[in-house]
Amino acid sequence: MTKLSVNVNKVATLRNARGHNNPDVVKTALDLERFGAQGITVHPRPDGRHIKYKDVYDLKSVISTEFNIEGYPSEDFIKLVLAVTPAQVTLVPDPPGVLTSNAGWVVSKHREFLTKVVGDFKDAGIRVSIFVGTELPNLADAKSIGTDRVELYTEPYASGYRADREAAITPFVAAAKEAKRLGLGLNAGHDLDLNNLRYFHEEIPELDEVSIGHALICDALYLGYEETIKRYLNCLK
């Protein structure tokens, strides 16, 4: 079964709006695990606008499922990940100041840098995934730098789903098959939700993991965490 990792950044955003600890990010993560989430994802950014570095340490000490830290591999981020040693690190090419991740790595343009970072994390016993689009040659480049997995950037699928879901999924199916042919693990994330997740999973059963944050937390405002996790897991059966 494809694992569901919940990104708790938006919980931290709400907490930070008042400067206290409500909602409690750690308690939320523990509740999400209790309700069936198989992983917790965080994406700390330099400005601390949602997840803060302290949150990362606090979560590492208590969660029992897979811990995934994603972010741009700046010097501070690399130090944080090596200190915390999560189960997985996901490298995304979003420099400081961007609102959200909006593209995957073009590996050929960053080969030397990524090879070094991936190697350092793997030497520390951390599984490495890098954020990519669906371009097939880029997947081969990803394999060449030693990454364990790729995470497909799914916003193009999500934005095209309602108009023509078959056309929207086609490049992702091809990318998934190529990733598996290359021996890469396969994750996916960005704008996946209760409307489009089931079809994505049906067409790409090779998925190891999906990481979902914004949509899931929005759904939980209406449904509650327990019911929301139940519905997302049902999409992945």
Dihedral angle over CA of 41, 129, 36, 11, nearest 10: 10
The answer to whether residue 232 scores a pLDDT higher than 70 is yes
Question: Measured between alpha carbons, how far is 201 from 197 in angstroms, rounded to an integer?
Answer: 6
Q: Which residues make Cβ contacts (< 8 Å) with residue 50, sequence separation at least 6?
A: 9, 10, 12, 13, 16, 43, 44
Average pLDDT, the chain: 96
Q: Which residues of 80-97 are buried (b: 16+ CB within 10 A; e: fewer)?
A: bbeebebbbbbbbbbeee
Phi-psi region of 5 (alpha: psi -120 to 50; beta: other; left: phi over 0): beta
| Marked catalytic residue, from 33, 43, 201, 203 | 43
| Marked catalytic residue, from 33, 190, 201, 209 | 190
pTM: 0.95
Q: Give the dihedral sign, CA 88/133/53/78.
A: positive
The total of other beta-carbon atoms located within 10 Å of residue 137's CB is: 10
Give residue 206's identity as a one-letter amino acid code.
Answer: E
Q: Give the dihedral sign, CA 5/8/9/10.
A: positive
Summarize the confidence of residues 91-107 as an average pLDDT.
Answer: 77
Active site residue 70: yes
The answer to whether residue 74 scores a pLDDT higher than 90 is yes
> How far does CA 61 lie from the centroid of its chain?
20
The answer to whether residue 113 scores a pLDDT higher than 80 is yes
Q: How many CA atoms lie within 13 A of 38 on its CB side?
A: 12
Structure tokens at 222: 């209406």
Active site residue 20: no
Q: In sequence order, what DSSP letters do the residues of 80-95 get, joined into one string?
A: HHHHH--SEEEE----
- At 181, is the pLDDT very low, low, confident or very high (cuts 50, 70, 90)? very high
Where helices occur in the chain by DSSP H, the ranges are 9-16, 25-34, 53-60, 75-84, 111-123, 136-144, 155-160, 165-182, 197-203, 214-223, 225-235
- At 48, is the pLDDT very low, low, confident or very high (cuts 50, 70, 90)? confident
Question: Measured between alpha carbons, how far is 165 from 70 in angstroms, rounded to an integer?
Answer: 28
Summarize the confidence of residues 164-176 as an average pLDDT.
Answer: 98
Structure confidence at residue 17 (pLDDT): 94
Summarize the confidence of residues 2-8 as an average pLDDT.
Answer: 98
Cβ atoms of 150 and 186 within 8 Å: the answer is: yes
The answer to whether residue 174 scores a pLDDT higher than 90 is yes
| Marked catalytic residue, from 70, 151, 203, 209 | 70
- At 145, is the pLDDT very low, low, confident or very high (cuts 50, 70, 90)? very high
The answer to whether residue 100 scores a pLDDT higher than 60 is no
Q: Name which of 77, 76, 79, 139 is nearest 105 in CA terms.
A: 139
